Amino acid sequence: MSGEINHAVNGAGTDAEARPQTLDAWFLDLLACPACPQHLPLHLVPLGEDGKTLNCQCGRYAFPVRDGLPILLVEEAALINPDATPDAVTAHPAES
């Protein structure tokens, strides 16, 4: 047996079953995307069987939720749509 520590990347553990974590709406309301200049609100999206992720309203980043705690770090976020530019929402497209 040369098995090293196998990090549970899937979060498959018995502890996760015992204590279901939920994020309340009022708590979600306090959260804002740290990557957006406008600090857009985040939406809780189910991910897999037990996982959750917080998608920014700009559609660019998805922030992980670990043990019921949202990880609002840009370096931890998944870039789900690099083309989504929150700046473009307010910017005037220059049409000629």
Judged by the rule CB under 5 A, the positions of this chain that interact with Zn ion are 33, 35-36, 56, 58
Report, in Å, the least distance between residue 40 CB and Zn ion: 5
Least spacing, CB of residue 63 vs Zn ion, in Å:
9
Q: How far apart are CA 19 and CA 16, in angstroms?
A: 6
In the bound state with Zn ion, the residue whose beta carbon lies nearer, of 33 and 72, is 33
| CB of 47 or CB of 84, closer to Zn ion | 84
C-alpha to C-alpha distance for 8 and 26, rounded to whole angstroms: 30
Residue closer to Zn ion by CB (options 69, 89) is 89
Residue 92 Cβ vs Zn ion, minimum distance, rounded to whole Å: 21
CA atoms of 90 and 96, how far apart (whole Å): 18
CB neighbour class for 47 (10 Å; exposed up to 12, middle 13-18, buried from 19): middle
